[in-house]
């Protein structure tokens, strides 16, 4: 397994930020979580106040999953949505435009003939779809590492960003995430499986049975083997993206179930990387809650989002900018006289 040197956020800058926050013209602690975020950003940037968060970039990792039948929507939506991202008409592109964030889509494993999309979209393609995890491995030997390296290369190419956001598009990916989180945390299928795009009743029971079958199919030995057995090329690429961002000290805002699951695996590959990640929002998926708890991350927003694509993380960006503005611009109690 590759090893990574993960830098440590600046404890002295954090302490200086906390001291400054206590001295601002407000009762101590009265801006609640915003104060904690201001201190987090100060530690990440190693300076008080932290730098402006002007350059925010979303990378949507798109791919198909062998368990797509467990979704409320057909598999073909994944490919169709790639065109919607490129046309700027997706949920995340519309929300990103509101906060001045850029959106890039990377076809890691979409099951289509992508002949007419720009080369930059497919430059990091690993395969078409991933295996059906209840009956076979998601990935062939070597593919988890190749996808992980693709995600690292993508983060490296976006490394001038002030904030990176991993987005996801993949019909069936909540089934894969449930299996990976259950495997990593030793949980039973029925505790981690959620409604995804909107399955209920017998369909939800079938989805739970698929996750249970995947978990009992074979043991896993390490995080890359977990990605191979139960994950997908997109999940491995997102994990690589998160590790590379952390190794460069670039703050990341995680989104919903997919990026939280990738983060759980990425933390196992590169312990300490989680210090560079914030949880943008709480999704409705139980596996996201389990993963964030295990990572020690508390969501910034709770708006009932379950779209994925990076949408919830993008929606948290104004809150982070507000945290920075408070510590940069508020007056000091000491100046009141
Ligand atoms: O991020 C979330 O919490 C989330 C919850 C439910 C669904 N999604 C999105 O919907 C797709 C996966 O849902 P499903 O039902 O097809 O497994 C995938 O494209 C995700 O981006 C995302
Ligand atoms: C239309 C649609 C858009 C999505 N975006 C992320 N997951 C999605 C699933 C569907 C079905």
Q: Tell me the mean pLDDT per 10 residues along the chain, length 337.
A: 94 98 98 98 98 98 98 98 98 98 98 95 98 98 98 98 98 98 98 98 98 98 98 98 98 98 98 98 98 98 98 99 98 94
For residues 247 and 327, membership in a common domain is answered with no
247: CB partners within 8 A, 6+ apart:
4, 5, 6, 7, 270, 273
Q: How many folded domains does the chain comprise? A: 2
Omega of the bond prior to 49 within 30 degrees of 0, cis? Answer: yes
Sheet strands side by side (includes 252-254): 102-109, 56-63, 163-169, 252-254, 277-279
Specify whether the CB–CB gap between 223 and 265 falls below 8 A: yes
Identify the pLDDT of residue 84.
98
Residue minimizing CA distance to atom 11 of ligand 2: 73
For residues 169 and 200, membership in a common domain is answered with yes
* Beta-sheet pairing, 277-279 with 56-63: unpaired
Q: Is 309 a catalytic residue?
A: yes
Give the atom of ligand 2 at the shortest distance from the alpha carbon of 170: 7
User: Is the Cβ atom of 257 under 6 angstroms away from ligand 1?
Assistant: yes
Q: What's the CA gap between 199 and 224, in Å, rounded? A: 29
SS3 141: coil
For residues 25 and 171, membership in a common domain is answered with no
For residues 227 and 263, membership in a common domain is answered with yes
Active-site position among 35, 158, 309, 329: 309
pTM above 0.90, yes or no: yes
For residues 79 and 93, membership in a common domain is answered with yes
Identify the pLDDT of residue 304.
98
Distance 274 CA to ligand 2 centre (A): 27
Residue 25: give the domain boundaries: 11-51+323-335
> 109 lies in a domain?
yes
Identify the pLDDT of residue 214.
98
Complex ipTM over 0.90: yes
Identify the pLDDT of residue 186.
98
For residues 158 and 249, membership in a common domain is answered with yes
């Amino acid at each position: 397994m590759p090893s990574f040197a993960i830098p440590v956020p600046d404890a002295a800058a954090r302490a200086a930020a906390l001291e400054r926050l206590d001295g601002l013209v407000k009762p101590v602690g009265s801006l609640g979580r915003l104060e904690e975020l201001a201190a987090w950003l100060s530690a990440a940037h190693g300076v008080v106040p932290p730098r402006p968060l002007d350059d925010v970039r979303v990378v949507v990792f798109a791919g198909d999953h062998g368990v797509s039948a467990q979704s409320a929507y057909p598999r073909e939506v994944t490919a169709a949505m790639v065109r919607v991202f490129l046309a700027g008409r997706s949920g995340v592109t519309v929300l990103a435009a509101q906060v001045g964030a850029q959106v890039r889509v990377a076809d890691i494993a979409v099951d289509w003939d992508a002949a007419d999309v720009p080369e930059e979209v497919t430059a990091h393609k690993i395969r078409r779809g991933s295996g059906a995890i209840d009956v076979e491995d998601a990935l062939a030997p070597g593919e988890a590492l190749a996808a992980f390296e693709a995600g690292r290369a993508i983060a490296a190419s976006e490394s001038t960003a002030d904030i990176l956001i991993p987005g996801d598009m993949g019909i069936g990916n909540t089934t894969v995430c449930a299996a990976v989180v259950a495997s990593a945390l030793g949980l039973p299928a029925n505790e981690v499986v959620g409604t995804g795009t909107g399955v209920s009743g017998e369909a939800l029971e079938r989805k739970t049975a698929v996750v249970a079958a995947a978990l009992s199919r074979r043991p896993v030995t390490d995080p890359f083997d977990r990605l191979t057995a139960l994950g997908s090329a997109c999940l491995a690429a997102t994990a690589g993206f998160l590790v590379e961002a952390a190794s460069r000290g670039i703050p990341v805002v995680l989104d919903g179930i997919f990026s939280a699951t990738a983060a759980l695996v990425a933390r196992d590959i590169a312990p300490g990387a989680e210090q560079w990640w914030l949880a943008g929002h709480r999704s409705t998926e139980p596996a996201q809650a389990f993963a964030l708890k295990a990572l020690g991350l508390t969501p910034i927003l709770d708006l009932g989002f379950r779209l994925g694509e990076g949408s919830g993380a993008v929606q948290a960006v104004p809150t982070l900018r507000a945290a920075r503005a408070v510590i940069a611009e508020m007056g000091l109690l000491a100046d009141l006289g």
